[in-house]
Structure 1
Amino acid sequence: MSYRIKSGDTLSAIAKSHHTTVSALMKANPQIKNANKIYAGKSLNLPGARDSFEPGKAGGGKAGGAQAGGKPAGGTGGAGGATAPTGPASRGPKGSPIDIARSHLDKNAASLKLEKNGVGADMEDWVPNNVNCANFVSAVLEQAGQIKDSQHHNAVVGLQKNLDNDPNFKRVSINQAKPGDVVSLKTPGGHHVVLFAGMKNGKPEFIGSNNINKDGSQRISYSQMNYPILSVHQYRG
């Protein structure tokens, strides 16, 4: 989300009106070197209402992702549990998306974006902390070597379109999914994207950036969601 600066605006007033902080605005807009100098007509990237850099705690938040809402069908879990892989995991030239995603389990999206290497370095910092699902999945696919930086997209439908246009990806049914396949979902408020993690108690389980923190921000977690599946993209490169 962005905001066009008007004559007379101050960074502190913009931060207050959008329920964020001057510090968060400057992190989302590295082109601003001085908080007291902003220019009318320029656009600002608006971060989430809160930037949380400490480990998150599971709360009664939503399990949907970017532009998403609603309740998960089966909640979230840790790295253990009875998740059963469905065939060999999807792999790219640089590794497996499912292994890369699992290595970041329980990290807040806000914290992950600050990391200088790996997935965090490939995530775009300005994306609000409550809408990072496509940002996270794109970065995981980049780290696995399955997509290029130019294919990274922070919107679910944008990433879906990029994968549709990539000859190395093919749409399959959820019954054909392998761990690491990209699953796009239709939610009551829009869309969400996650990675298939296997089957648990007869239902598909996913891993992704989900809105489970008490403040509505996202954390990397497992989830079982009863949303309609729009597409499952499997890497065939």
Structure 2
Amino acid sequence: MSIHTIRRGDTLSALARKYGTTVGQLAKANNIKNPDLIITGKKLNIPGSRDSFEPAPTGRPTAGRNPTTSGPQSAGPVSGPSNAAPGRGVSEAQLRQIMPNLSAAKAKEYLPHINRAMAEAGINTPKRQAAFLAQLGHESGGLRYMEEIASGSAYEGRRDLGNTQPGDGVRFKGRGPIQLTGRSNYAAAGRALGLDLVNNPRQAATPEVGFRTAAWFWNSRNLNSYADSGNFRELTRRINGGYNGLADREAYYRRALAALN
């Protein structure tokens, strides 16, 4: 169990994402009766941790995450493909309606991988697919970016991301439509998906693997439940740590609902 000293701007939900736990577990471990009331300077016991996704640093063109959110975005591993019924995938025409700046060539290239990833994660209803594609659309600039433009050197030595070996920052830079970042995340996603992403990290930028890591992230945080209830705002908060880029995400979502219903 590790210790975190509460800083100004911290929230239990953000800290739960950072350390890969839940608000309930944090509250229980620290006898907190009101999760909305925490005190700056107080030390929190952190009940274990999981691997995490890292929010985009300033200048990354794709993620659109809240730059004031401290620490990584958590996403624990999943045990494998969902047992849910596969459902029907999206068509090329629907994908281009949702992503209006996506070329026909890219739509044709990406579509089978998107549909495979959605089936694997049980993203198998129009509401789930609309929410998933809307978030991917915003996070990746309309599926234009599958790899962080920055070198990744800013992550060097980041032990919270598992970057303990020289060169890990660059080696495990952000890749995929929801950018996988850090040695620990590559290892966790690889274990869940049956891939050796630690020794082959560039695979995460390919459509064959990148959309699967995005679906792993989605499935690991139980985001289908928020899509099912139509709670797109809360779904955004659980991805972003806040509501950064909400208007753009909602525009993608409206297009996706129109295309898929």
Pairwise same-fold verdict (TM > 0.5)? no
TM-score scaled by length of structure 2: 0.28
Higher relative contact order (CA 8 A, sep 6+): 1
| Greater share of residues in helix | 2
| Greater share of residues in strand | 1
TM-score scaled by length of structure 1: 0.30
